[in-house]
A and B are shown apart, each in its own frame.
Chain A
Amino acid sequence: MKRRKAVEKRQSNGEKNGITRRTFIKGAAAAGGMGMILATGIPPALGTGKKDLVHGIFGGDPGNLSPVIRHDTAAGIIIRNITDNLVMPNYKTREIMPMLAEDWKNVDPLTWRIKLREGVMWHKGYGEMTAEDLVYTWQFHLDSKSWQVRTAFWPLDSFKVVGKYVAEVKLKQPFGAFPGVTMGYGGMVVSKNAHQEIGNEAFKTNPVGNGPFEFVSLKANEVVLKKNKQYWQKGLPHLEELIFRSIPDSHVRLQALQKGELDFISHPDAKDVKKVRKDPSLAYQSTPGWTWDYQLFNQLKDFPYQNKLVREAISYAIDREAIRDEIYYGEATVTDNQIPYGYLGHRKNLLRYPKNGDLEKAKELMAKAGCKGYEVEVICSDKDWLRRELELVAAMVSQIGIKYKIRNMDIGSFNNLWLNRKFEQLLEDITIVAPDPDATVWWFLHSKGSCTAGYNDPGMDRMLDGARAESDPKKREGLYHKIVDQELVDNPMIFHVNANYVRLHKKGLEGFESAPQEYIELFHTARWTS
């Protein structure tokens, strides 16, 4: 009996026959540690010191890193650091500048001659880049019916090598946007030898480029690149190693940056940016993006918005500054201009509609159109900011008697309705990729464009085709001004803002230039100064 009491006393003291609470915790911790070791393994050692940069990139697994197979934007950012492009836009002067293509000429309206830069070496010993590589790449796109056939290569008729570094391209019709669209959007060349030797499939996870960084490894959500010591821009890049780690959640990306696990991130949540800008350890860059938030009216449907006065009234009812401040917390640029900053043809962001709207004018236009209001279903994908933006816009247009019935859905379902024109009206954001105004207007305004929804104006078609055929940049600029002015009257789409691309990085990183293109984050000039 005494013994039982003693045992009970020890139990009540947390002892279990010689096993004290402390011993138990120690044992558990040891077992836990051993278990963790068995479960996790130990990561291999890698470089130390500030000659590297870890970029927390948005999106999921990068997966495919081949420039000639469709890749997503996040993978595009990585690919652009492995493979240089033929040309690059100068966003300030809005000119297309030489890169791997040293020069290009419109020999006659249907012929372009491209002179490649000499001495550009492929990674991993695949020799020098020549015109044969360019011709091989573009022919591969056509033969494989790649995603770029309709966007960048549709005007191509034939192309041939006319010198070691010179290729000649024959077009089916004059195409003034050739430098921006074909050479710009379709301007990543692959090494013929490397691509054939490695194989198209294997090339996706073992790319060979000619850019500032050479591919080292792709492991699930992490891509490691190293400095290309033979890079054609002498003295560059400064970084020895560039690591991209996919982190889909924007808050986690930001927290990992603040904690020092990352050196650089893009696409932070806009509402966090204001607070983060006060963080003395971080630097901030914000650029108006080549992206729109816009409303699209399906003019194949019978709604009062068939009357362009109603659409104009809607545009006047929109307080774009409120969208910028309430939805984007200031990290956006108000616009009604279909051609964003940095493009040929861009004048200013607001061309016709006041930044805070004009409700009286909107009501006046509704009266003039004989419209007392109506109800319409407006679809929107499940992006949080778009859902909130649509609610705000619905409140704005309700003041002129229009009731938006909001329907949010996941992006797959949204695309299904959008691409098949099974909607009445929509709000969406879109990223424009090719650095030429043709890409920002033709597909959206031409009656044969794939992104229209019933808008069909022969006069607009003529202007779009005319601007597309013109190769003189100055003349093209004037033509695009007219196109945009017409769009602002007809309003087949109503533009709200260009969301800014915000990039955050640790202080001490210099030489990185923020671009308005989402997939352009080039690190060849970046260096750590502290």
Chain B
Amino acid sequence: MGNRLSYLMRRLAQIPFVLAIVTITIFSLIHVTPGDPIQIMLGMQTSPDAVDALRKQFYLDRPLPIQYFIWVKNAVRGNLGKSIRLNLPVTRMIAERLPVSLKLAASAMLFALLISIPAGIVSAIRRNTVVDYCFTGFSIGGLAIPNFALALLLIFFFSIKLDWFPITGIGSSAGKDVSLWGAIAPFILPAVALGAQQTAILQRLLRSSMIDVLSQDYIRTARAKGVPGWIILVIHALKNALIPVVTMVAIQFGYLIGITITIEFIFAIPGMGFTLLTAVVNRDFPVIQGFTLTIAIFFILANIVADVLYTLIDPRIRY
């Protein structure tokens, strides 16, 4: 316990350094990329006075290192600046959009778990059979198809042709359908499109992990002792086989927050990715920095959670 706590403290202490590297990298990259947000926003016919005033307002008239330190100084006080394009506080934009992305990522992960766990188990116990080959084929397909392409295919078949699910509606207060189905339905296609790759990753991971565990001596011993198959599978095998999966789930959840861009764009979901993409096109520096910082924090926290879970699930693991 003491070791775990000290490990956790060490990991938390590393966060500022990791964030410093991330923010410096992002800050440098977006400022090196050609494109002036003020010019993009104001257009060609704006007076130099207006351009200068806006530059001053966003500290863009200062040298880059000074701009960075101003941003960091404000960020540690919880002020991530204002969007150049929308003129709204970035923290407010994050507060509005992060819950939407979290819901989407949670839905995608839920879908991935619902499919990958049974598929991984079946693939492992029916190793090298037609069933296993089918699941493997689907997994490779899930990994190979880009999520935007899958999203468009899903829309075509399940929304347009079969009319089962709506295309848009997440984050909309103007929905007509107030039923339970009306609440869930808009999430299904985005969750499937976003979660397909995670499904494949987790299924493959669980399969190999299960195969490994099922070949262990203690499983053979349990079988020899006549322990019921389901007990062997669930209590002895699955519990141990899930260790790498749980870790991966935590890491992948942080990753999902960062890759929702295309899915949010296609399904018009007003989350982090939707806004981040618009910000990149418009070189809206404060939004890019603030949103990237938030995503980085989530990713780091997800990794820490994964490591902690690892020790909780498998007491043999010590740091």
Contacts and interface: CB of A to CB of B under 8 A. Distances in A.
Given A32-B111, A39-B107, A43-B182, 13 more contacts: A36-B110, A36-B187, A46-B176, A60-B277, A147-B46, A219-B173, A221-B270, A222-B171, A258-B160, A410-B35, A411-B40, A412-B33, A413-B33
B174 A248 contact: no
B303 to A, nearest CB: 22
Contacts of B3: none
Nearest to B106: A39
Interface string A387-424: 00000000000000000000000111101110100000
A34 to B, nearest CB: 10
Given A219-B171, A259-B159, A416-B36, A70 B42 contact: yes
A107 interface: no
Given A36-B184, A145-B53, A451-B45, A7 B229 contact: yes
A315 B148 CA distance: 40
Interface string B273-300: 0110110011100000000000000000
A489 interface: no
Which 10 A-B pairs rank lowest in CB-CB distance, beginning with the nearest?
Answer: A412-B35, A63-B86, A17-B230, A220-B270, A60-B278, A7-B229, A150-B47, A247-B268, A221-B270, A416-B34
A245 interface: yes
Contacts of A204: 86-88
B85 to A, nearest CB: 7
Contacts of B140: none
A451 B231 CA distance: 76
A411 B43 CA distance: 12
B168 A261 contact: yes
Nearest to B276: A60
B39 A416 contact: yes
B44 A419 contact: yes
A23 to B, nearest CB: 12
Nearest to B86: A63
B29 to A, nearest CB: 13
Contact of A60 (B49, B163, B274): B274
Contact of B268 (A145, A154, A248, A412): A248
Given A17-B228, A43-B172, A256-B168, A61 B278 contact: yes
Interface in B32-83: 33-36, 39-47, 49-50, 53, 83
A93 interface: no
Interface string B178-208: 1010111011100000000000000000000
22 contacts: A7-B229, A7-B230, A8-B229, A28-B118, A31-B114, A32-B111, A39-B106, A40-B103, A45-B178, A63-B83, A64-B86, A70-B41, A151-B46, A205-B88, A219-B96, A220-B96, A220-B171, A221-B268, A222-B173, A249-B265, A252-B267, A419-B44
A35 interface: yes
Contacts of A32: 110-111, 114
Given A217-B173, A245-B168, A248-B265, A4 B229 contact: yes
Interface in B213-263: 223, 226, 228-231, 233-234
B110 A63 contact: no
Contact of B47 (A145, A246, A249): A145
A249 B266 contact: yes
Interface string B145-171: 000000010010001100100111111
B271 to A, nearest CB: 8
A474 interface: no
A41 interface: yes
Interface in A138-157: 145-147, 149-151, 154
A44 interface: yes
B125 interface: yes
Nearest to B231: A17
A16 B233 contact: yes
Given A24-B118, A245-B174, A19 B230 contact: yes
B274 A221 contact: yes
A37 B187 CA distance: 10
Contact of B167 (A19, A48, A252, A419): A252
Given A63-B88, A224-B173, A451-B45, A41 B183 contact: yes
B174 A46 contact: yes
B100 interface: yes
A interface residue count range (under 10 / 10 to 19 / 20 to 34 / 35 or more): 35 or more
Contacts of B137: none
A33 interface: yes
B35 A413 contact: yes
B187 A39 contact: yes
A56 B42 CA distance: 25
B175 interface: yes
> Which of B170, B171, B176, B223 has the most chain A CB within a 10 Å cutoff?
B176
B167 A255 contact: yes
Given A61-B270, A145-B53, A410 B281 contact: yes
A238 to B, nearest CB: 18
Nearest to A144: B53
Contact of B180 (A37, A39, A249): A37
Interface in A59-75: 59-61, 63-64, 69-70, 72
B86 A147 contact: no
Contacts of A221: 171, 268, 270, 274
A450 interface: yes
Nearest to A33: B184
Contacts of B49: 145, 149
A3 interface: yes
A413 B186 CA distance: 36
A10 B270 CA distance: 47
A16 B50 contact: no
Contacts of B41: 70, 147
Given A17-B230, A204-B87, A44 B34 contact: no
A146 B183 contact: no
A201 B87 contact: yes
A443 interface: yes
B277 A255 contact: no
A166 interface: no
B281 A412 contact: yes
B34 A37 contact: no
A64 B168 contact: no
A261 B169 contact: yes
A252 B86 contact: no
Given A44-B173, A220-B96, A252 B268 contact: yes
Interface in B103-139: 103, 106-107, 110-111, 114, 118, 125
A227 B135 CA distance: 54
A450 B50 CA distance: 14
A208 interface: no
A502 interface: no
Contacts of B184: 33, 36-37, 40
A63 B85 contact: yes
A243 interface: yes
Contacts of A416: 34-36, 39
Contacts of B152: 251
B275 A147 contact: no
